[in-house]
Structure 1
Amino acid sequence: MEMLHLVPVIDEGLGNSTYLLDIGRGRALVVDPERDLRQVRAEALRLGLSIAYAAETHLHADFISGVRELEETERATVLAPDVGPRGFAHTVLNDGDNLDLGNITLQALATPGHSPEHLSYLLLDHGRIAGVFTGGSLMVGTAGRTDLVSPEMTVPLARAQYHSLHRLMELPNDTPVWPTHGAGSFCSAAAGGERMTTIGRERATNPLLQVAGEDAFVDALLGSLGTFPDYFLRLGEVNRRGPVVLGTTPPLPALSVDRVMSLREQGAQIVDARQPAHFAAGHIPGSLSIALRPVFATWLGWLAEPDRLVIIVRNPDQDPADIVWAAAQVGFDTLAGELDGGFPAWKNSAAAATGSLIEARSMVSGAEASATVLDVRQASEYAAGHVAAAWNIELGDLAGRLGEVPTGPLVVMCGHSERAMSAASILERGGRTAVAVLNGGAADWAREAGRSLETGR
């Protein structure tokens, strides 16, 4: 068996891996591509490959799929499980179907659980097992969540996931496992940073495969799940119908201060992509702080309203292509534009707001020592270690729970400061004042206070 040329293209922000496989004769197979295909296309170009096939393991909820884009722009053949009529050309694969790609054969394995139609793809090289693409089924140390379809389907899909994982365990121990979802994905509960594994390793170490019986598996899987962004509930249908083909990088038109003011009066929302320190130094009143970083797409999809125009504020050193592609990944196909000249243009023409970014010592012995601490991390992060007496409201829930936030001065914190500044901007928009953001995280407070963090929920 020849050495496979498989290139994982990892999106650290969404926590997913797209796989580019050389299948011979200058052709490539791509598995679970995202809509932002810049890296995938760069790798294919580097290897001198044209993308002939684009396979999906399931109907994705966490990102807009790139298979429609590849079908239209690269004339790639789309391979996908059957989830009812799709709005674009594709080849349906069912359990046991084989697709001859030359020396390599792709065999579909039904592995429902993460979604009802989920397929894994067994890769056969000259008839021998070379590996398996497991999508949102078997992952490194965990398995895909089963609560994205409907509440009444969550337990039945968890039971299906149990049987799917045990079906995969019938493969040889040395079989490479190539999951799509991994650490950083809200489809996964994985904590480590590894993206690939083997059947034998998962058989020996995956906690979900160590429990005794189906009922215990269901309890363990559902007990490991945290919250997920609400945009997961709408992207699946977009992917089934077929998203708009963008082709090239979407534009980000320059908007004058007057035009921004006019659009804001008409209901547009302003998303400030600058880093927390810049936002604290000055920002457009009522704007939403979402710092441009790998997880920008997730928080834009979670916090911005999908039915309102989005205006971007950025610094000159921030690449507009990174912003518009991240937005497109979660369904914001066309942004209204960006503030021409950035925040300095606004500051020279209109009233601005400021924020407060503080160090841990100010929480311990400074002006904010008596303030209520609001921790906006995920519940699992909070439980792992938090400041004594800190309140926990996850950032994704904050806008709907402003009435629960204690009155008086607040210090908002997360792991570093980005999510906390997003929270502070939501609080400001809700009319709160005396809100400071910790520049750092719980560990910084613990060092400054000389105290241990509390654990538990």
Structure 2
Amino acid sequence: MGFADDHLVPLVDAGLGNSAYLVDLGDGRALAVDASRDLRSLREAAARRGLRVAFAADTHLHADFLSGARQLAHDDGAQVLASAAGQRAFPHTPLADGDETDLGGLTLRALATPGHTTEHLSFVLLDGGRELGVFSGGSMIVNSAARTDLLGADRADELARAQYRSLRRLAALPDEVALWPTHGAGPFCSAPPGRERTSTIGAQKRTNPLLAAPDEDAFVRTLTAGLGSYPAYFARLAEANRRGPGVLTAAPQLPGLSVAQVEDLLRRGGYLVDVRPTADFAAGHVPGSVSIALRDQFATWLGWLLPDSAPLAFVTDERQDPAEIVWQAYKIGYERLAGRLAGGLDAWLAAGGEAQTVDVVTADRAADPAAGRPVLDVRQRAEHTAGHIPGAAHIELGSLAGHAGDVDDGTLVHCAHGERAMTAASLLQRAGRERLTVLAGGPDRWAAARGTQLVHGDGATGPPRGP
């Protein structure tokens, strides 16, 4: 078959920052590459074209989502293509470097590209002898390469050196070959921010700073210098993908729960997650509930902050789709979803329950830390060092629960917009902190309201202290 650009459909998960790909093979069949367990967008794209997924290729044992390949094998009879070195515990076609799979006119060639993970494969798509593009997974990505510390900080240097060799192997492909990475801008697995999710080998030779490194040592220093923290659930998913996620025979549901059922769940060590917009949570919420607003990044923060072993219940509003909660949770391995509080906060209050609030202030009304008000920045370290409020302490949201006892009552909490700060305030309230305030907006807005400058560099890194 002749391959045209419209035969490739990128499927972007904006929250996790990843791309899956659906390839129309021209005969009613399709190839899926790095599909997540949330197959809704892939199913829609396949249905629009009248396609059945005949092949499901995974580039690596993903650290940031559960693979949908096993589900595609069950539902569509897809042949799962994956690295032999990954030792997956379910039926698949194990591939080694150079192995080729006939897709029916097109060919998929496995290319060993370790670095992001040890068993990592890239897949070169060929039309006859012509290389069309490469599904590079977490090896070469747009203007960067994916992180090499997911198997432990002690192996980051070793795997960065493997990544160096893998990128150069990919760079040896012809300039016109398309680059189709899985990881893109924004995920914790990779990369610098940016809009472009795909590229070409030739463009990357010109713009990727890692390919411009003069030698292997310089490459390793550049790649590992920017590694920050990453969600706690990453550590669990590689083994979950090796075993294979459980096959679903029906779409999981989120049933309504009575107030008594929610109270019983909390007594048994469960969590109540409030997914309403932050303004609604601030105005009133069930004491002890954790605010994680239902948005693109919901799965990231659910998987970072809460255990996958505890039952979860949710507080929603009538405009929110329970299916979105379910699929964001399931794609990162969170399946102990008890349900949602029927009637929401109104039902809780009607049953005699109390509510807590969180004050939200605009930048012009926020107290100045110079006047003795403790201020806590819960953004990522790179965000903090790029510019923060003078005197602000810094504790990343992902590690805040372990430091909540060090934070004073009366602290002003902020992030870049407000969602993470509200989550932080909810965690601090669970730990007994009182009189918390969340800044509406971030440090730029605070500085603009005062006509002052932000501080650059590490600055304060410990817990905030009042007078």
TM-score, normalised relative to structure 1: 0.97
Matched residue, 1:12: 14
Which of 277, 280, 297 matches 1:278?
Answer: 280
Instruction: Say whether 1:193 aligns with 2:211.
Output: no
Q: How does 1:38-53 map to 2 (within 5 A)?
A: 38-53=40-55
Q: Given residue 423 of structure 1, which amino acid in structure 2 is its aligned partner?
A: A
Aligned in 2, Cα 1:152/1:370: closer, same or farther, shift over 3 Å? closer
Q: How does 1:109-148 map to 2 (within 5 A)?
A: 109-148=111-150
Shift of 1:364: 5.0
Matched residue, 1:413: 414
Matched residue, 1:444: 445
Query: Any idea what the Cα deviations from partners look like across 1:92-130, whole Å, max 9, x if unmatched?
Result: 111001111122110111100000010111111122111
- Percent identity, aligned pairs only, is 53
Matched residue, 2:462: none
Helix, strand or coil at the partner of 1:51: strand
Q: How does 1:47-446 map to 2 (within 5 A)?
A: 47-349=49-351, 350-363=353-366, 370-405=372-407, 407-446=408-447
Helix, strand or coil at the partner of 2:228: coil
Structure 1 stretches lacking a partner, 5+ long: none
Aligned in 2, Cα 1:35/1:2: closer, same or farther, shift over 3 Å? closer
Shift of 1:193: 2.0
Which of 26, 30, 33 matches 2:32?
Answer: 30
Question: Aligned equivalents of 1:404 and 1:352: distance in 2?
Answer: 25
8 Å Cα contact 1:189/1:224 also seen in 2: no
Helix, strand or coil at the partner of 2:247: coil
Question: Aligned equivalents of 1:206 and 1:404: distance in 2?
Answer: 42
Q: Given residue 444 of structure 2, which amino acid in structure 1 is its aligned partner?
A: A
8 Å Cα contact 1:362/1:368 also seen in 2: no
Helix, strand or coil at the partner of 2:191: coil
Shift of 1:408: 4.2
Question: Aligned equivalents of 2:345 and 2:267: distance in 1?
Answer: 18
Query: Any idea what the Cα deviations from partners look like across 1:233-269, whole Å, max 9, x if unmatched?
Result: 1111111001111243211111100111111111111
Shift of 1:84: 4.7
Aligned in 2, Cα 1:415/1:155: closer, same or farther, shift over 3 Å? same
Shift of 1:190: 2.1
Question: What is the total number of aligned residue pairs between the two structures?
Answer: 455
8 Å Cα contact 1:69/1:247 also seen in 2: no
Shift of 1:329: 1.2
Q: Answer with 13-22 or 346-355: which moved more.
A: 346-355
Structure 2 stretches lacking a partner, 5+ long: 459-467
8 Å Cα contact 1:64/1:239 also seen in 2: yes
Question: Aligned equivalents of 1:195 and 1:429: distance in 2?
Answer: 39
Shift of 1:404: 3.6
Shift of 1:219: 0.9
Query: Any idea what the Cα deviations from partners look like across 1:118-146, whole Å, max 9, x if unmatched?
Result: 01111111221111100000001110111
Aligned in 2, Cα 1:195/1:247: closer, same or farther, shift over 3 Å? farther
8 Å Cα contact 2:37/2:330 also seen in 1: yes
Matched residue, 2:461: none
Question: Aligned equivalents of 1:151 and 1:441: distance in 2?
Answer: 31
Question: Aligned equivalents of 2:216 and 2:174: distance in 1?
Answer: 22
Query: Any idea what the Cα deviations from partners look like across 1:423-449, whole Å, max 9, x if unmatched?
Result: 000100111111101111112112211
Helix, strand or coil at the partner of 1:209: coil
8 Å Cα contact 1:364/1:449 also seen in 2: no
Question: Aligned equivalents of 1:57 and 1:413: distance in 2?
Answer: 38
Shift of 1:326: 0.4
Shift of 1:369: 6.3
Shift of 1:417: 0.6
8 Å Cα contact 1:27/1:51 also seen in 2: yes
Q: Following superposition, which runs of at least 4 residues in structure 1 exceed 3 angstroms of deviation?
A: 367-370
8 Å Cα contact 1:364/1:445 also seen in 2: no
Helix, strand or coil at the partner of 1:208: coil
Shift of 1:392: 1.1
Query: Any idea what the Cα deviations from partners look like across 1:318-366, whole Å, max 9, x if unmatched?
Result: 100000000101111230111011111112221111111111111157x
Q: Given residue 399 of structure 1, which amino acid in structure 2 is its aligned partner?
A: A
8 Å Cα contact 1:103/1:126 also seen in 2: yes
8 Å Cα contact 1:372/1:409 also seen in 2: yes
Question: What is the RMSD of the two structures over their aligned residues, measured on CA atoms?
Answer: 1.4
Question: Aligned equivalents of 2:248 and 2:414: distance in 1?
Answer: 37
Question: Aligned equivalents of 1:426 and 1:171: distance in 2?
Answer: 49
Helix, strand or coil at the partner of 2:56: strand
Question: Aligned equivalents of 2:367 and 2:450: distance in 1?
Answer: 6
8 Å Cα contact 1:362/1:369 also seen in 2: no
Shift of 1:153: 2.1
Q: Given residue 275 of structure 1, which amino acid in structure 2 is its aligned partner?
A: P
Shift of 1:82: 1.7
